[in-house]
Amino acid sequence: MLGVIEGFYGRPWTMCSRRRTIAALHPHGYGFYIYAPKADSYLRREWRTPYPERDFGALASLAEYCQSLGVSFGLGFSPYALFRNFDQEARGALAVKLAQLRALEPDLFAILFDDMPGNMPQLAEAQLAITDAIGQQLPGTKLAFCPTYYSDDPVLDRAFGRRPADYLDTIGRQLDPSVAIFWTGPEICSHELSPGHVDRISEHLRRKPFLWDNYPVNDGPRMSRYLHIRAVTGRTATATAQLEGHAVNPSLQPTLTQIPAITLAMAYRDGAKYDYGRAFREAATAVCGPQLADYLSEDLSLLNDVGLERLSSVETERLRARYGGIDHDAAREVLGFLNREYHFEGDMS
- By the 8 A CB rule, do 243 and 208 touch? yes
Identify the DSSP state of 193. Answer: B
Instruction: Indicate whether 235 pLDDT > 70.
Output: yes
Domain extent listing, the chain: 2-276, 284-338
Q: What is the pLDDT of residue 121?
A: 87
d(CA 174, CA 146): 15
Task: Report d(CA 157, CA 228) in Å as an integer.
Answer: 26
Rounded-to-integer distance, Cα 47 and Cα 299, Å: 42
Q: Give 315-324 contacts, CB < 8 A, sequence gap 24+.
A: 322/295, 323/295
pLDDT digits (tens, 9 = 90+) for 268-297: 999 989 999 999 999 999 999 999 999 999
- Asked if 150 contacts 201 with a C-beta cutoff of 8 angstroms, the reply is no
pLDDT surpassing 90 at residue 244: yes
CA-closest candidate to residue 328, choices 254, 262, 277, 267: 254
Superfamily of structural domain 2-276: Glycosidases (3.20.20.80)
> What is the pTM (predicted TM-score) of this model?
0.97
Asked if the model's pLDDT at residue 349 lies above 70, the reply is: no
The average confidence (pLDDT) of the chain is 96
- Indicate if the pLDDT at residue 250 is higher than 70: yes
Other residues' Cβ atoms within 10 Å of the Cβ of residue 26? 17
Q: What is the DSSP string of 249-263?
A: ---S-TTTTHHHHHH
**pLDDT for residue 239:** 78
User: What does the DSSP 8-state code read for residue 208?
Assistant: -
How far lies 276's CA from each of 34, 68, 232, 281, 288, in Å?
Answer: 27, 33, 7, 9, 18
Look at residue 99 and give its three-state secondary structure: helix
Percent of the chain at pLDDT > 90 equals: 93
Give residue-wise pLDDT tens across range 292-332.
Answer: 999 999 999 999 999 999 999 999 999 999 999 999 999 99
Coil, strand or helix: which one is 150?
coil
Whether 28 and 261 have beta carbons less than 8 Å apart is answered as yes
Backbone conformation region of residue 206, classed left if phi is above 0, alpha if psi is from -120 to 50, else beta: left
Closest of 155, 118, 111 to residue 133, by C-alpha: 111
